[in-house]
Structure 1
């Protein structure tokens, strides 16, 4: 076991650990307090002064961090949040990838599985690293396009459609599944949600247990994705679970890959009160999709105004809305929702 771990470590760190913490600091020229803070934020285990736990790769990485500070990218107010995000994200990714390699080694059933993990690391990880770099670059292109498309590039707030999709009956279903079955069921749910979101021009922000949070620049894209998921869940022959969804449209603060603000909160609250198999939308989403204001929709509850989307170029996405009674949810009193449905035909 130790030999395999050492082999993986040598490969990943580009050599056998040969440096102590003090030697890394001396060779990199980075202040000890700054280096320790970076290591802590990244989630690395703390090493004693005499522990030989580092390689020249650690020296180069600290120098690069200092260069980013000098370029004004890693300013003091951004540094902690950015590095913590790196640490959390890569820690989760590394845990999953290590588990994947171990599973492959065990499935093969040939020779020593521990030694096979070390062999697979050398064969597989360079390709994974290259693919990760490619995926990262593609997402940079997409993120840059969204950022530069707004009127005030660099502003943390921009109009977005936010959708939460929640599994109906998750608690009771999860009790009937073993660990592997539960993981497979949730992964299937998340995979379908991601496919539908991307297909309709949206993007998944995160998975929260039995719930998925997605956003889209175009409210019509978000509505189409939410309705597609609800319709999949209503099909008894489809293994996709029954779901309910809440959608809101308005200013959203985006930070480090997550989204915040009242629009996000309202979408979450609407999901919590939506009936199984329905999509509830807020006033902002209703007005964006229908082209009508709340006042033009009338004041009667349970009104079906049958409004299509009159905006040029969107006639192929007609909707119907049923105004339901105002509801009070945490943080919002008398929230006005509408049930979103596709128009017949």
Structure 2
């Protein structure tokens, strides 16, 4: 029964009904029974999704929970989710949507406060007006990204290329610690969001993908060495332009085999790119041996300078760099010709 029919509900009850579509009336055991799974499996999936523990017999669930559990079981039966993928996939879904929900609720609360609306009442009203549209938008964005990822996979399959070589780029804000001390929490968040938004335009223009932001640092992946270095040089160029609000940055780029899992990337290529960024000078782009060879088509040599007609870049070789986990890395500073 909707809140309000048997007396005025409190704010949480009203919001719960608005979001779940009905009043919770099922406990864990009833959800598991209706979905056709054991209580242990239901509890495990619930915890992997990041939801709080509920006491036995507590009516915290609705028919939507039953449908979600059935859908999960169907995906397992279809072979989409096997034992190896189950924990990682469910945990990643829970973590991703938890972060998204945190941001969305905070945004709605800010809008309510700025409009002079009581946050409690404002959240309920905005949930009815805004969330259906956000839900539709999320579904649209998800499907568009599915198409984009599928297109890249099909392109690789068409060339019969079974390798997973990628260019990995880290971009780090110069002077972040000093500047962040003088900013309020709101100003810091606004500054970092502006940085990521501006960087995203350049990344997309060069066919790259931002995998994640780690504080003041962006992890970016591109399918080709040419796209990655062009993107890194453009970001550092913008950071060096005093008339551009984009902050000064440095970058490290490596090229090689990459392990992709649940939207993230792993492996030595990622580690090397991160290490190069940590030693790069402000405004510079460092590349590893894999990037040098992919960009020039030349084998590693001992010359301090490298430039050829086939390349649009100049390379200045540095002394071999020793960083955590890697001793004597072959490293070049790259610049436009």
Rounded Cα–Cα distance in structure 2 between residues aligned with 1:183 and 1:119: 26
**TM-score normalised by L of structure 2:** 0.94
Task: Please give the root-mean-square deviation of Cα atoms over the aligned residues, in Å.
Answer: 1.9
Q: Which residue of the partner structure matches residue 223 of structure 1?
A: 229
Q: What residue ranges of structure 1 are gaps of 5+ in the alignment?
A: 311-317
**TM-score normalised by L of structure 1:** 0.91
Indicate conservation of the 8 Å contact 1:150/1:158, yes or no.
Answer: no
Rounded Cα–Cα distance in structure 2 between residues aligned with 1:140 and 1:63: 23
Please list, as runs of the form range in 1=range in 2, the aligned pairs for 1:120-135 lying within 5 A after superposition: 120-135=126-141
> What is the number of residues matched between the two proteins?
330
1:264 is paired with a residue of what secondary structure? helix
Rounded Cα–Cα distance in structure 1 between residues aligned with 2:85 and 2:201: 32
Rounded Cα–Cα distance in structure 1 between residues aligned with 2:306 and 2:35: 67
Are residues 21 and 179 of structure 1, via their aligned partners in 2, closer, same or farther at CA, if it must alter by over 3 Å? same
Matched, 1:142 2:135: no
Please list, as runs of the form range in 1=range in 2, the aligned pairs for 1:1-345 lying within 5 A after superposition: 3-110=10-117, 112-151=118-157, 158-295=164-301, 299-300=302-303, 303-309=304-310, 318-343=312-337
- CA shift, 1:289, in A, is 1.1
Rounded Cα–Cα distance in structure 1 between residues aligned with 2:99 and 2:285: 32
Rounded Cα–Cα distance in structure 2 between residues aligned with 1:309 and 1:319: 9
- CA shift, 1:212, in A, is 0.3
Rounded Cα–Cα distance in structure 2 between residues aligned with 1:294 and 1:151: 30
Q: What residue ranges of structure 2 are gaps of 5+ in the alignment?
A: 1-7
Question: Hey, which bits of structure 1, 4+ residues long, moved more than 6 A?
Answer: none
Indicate conservation of the 8 Å contact 1:290/1:308, yes or no.
Answer: no
- CA shift, 1:53, in A, is 0.7
Q: Provide, for residues 240-272 of structure 1, a one-character-per-residue CA deviation record: whole Å limited to 9, x for no partner.
A: 111110001111110000001111111111111
Q: Provide, for residues 57-79 of structure 1, a one-character-per-residue CA deviation record: whole Å limited to 9, x for no partner.
A: 11111111111111011111110
- CA shift, 1:2, in A, is 6.7
Indicate conservation of the 8 Å contact 1:307/1:321, yes or no.
Answer: no
2:251 is paired with a residue of what secondary structure? strand
- CA shift, 1:12, in A, is 1.5
Rounded Cα–Cα distance in structure 2 between residues aligned with 1:140 and 1:2: 41
2:322 is paired with a residue of what secondary structure? strand
Indicate conservation of the 8 Å contact 1:157/1:253, yes or no.
Answer: no
Rounded Cα–Cα distance in structure 2 between residues aligned with 1:133 and 1:308: 47
Are residues 329 and 47 of structure 1, via their aligned partners in 2, closer, same or farther at CA, if it must alter by over 3 Å? same
Rounded Cα–Cα distance in structure 2 between residues aligned with 1:22 and 1:261: 42
Indicate conservation of the 8 Å contact 2:28/2:43, yes or no.
Answer: no
Indicate conservation of the 8 Å contact 1:163/1:247, yes or no.
Answer: yes
Are residues 157 and 16 of structure 1, via their aligned partners in 2, closer, same or farther at CA, if it must alter by over 3 Å? farther
Indicate conservation of the 8 Å contact 1:289/1:309, yes or no.
Answer: no
Q: Provide, for residues 117-143 of structure 1, a one-character-per-residue CA deviation record: whole Å limited to 9, x for no partner.
A: 101101111111111011111111111
Indicate conservation of the 8 Å contact 1:157/1:254, yes or no.
Answer: no
Indicate conservation of the 8 Å contact 1:18/1:55, yes or no.
Answer: yes
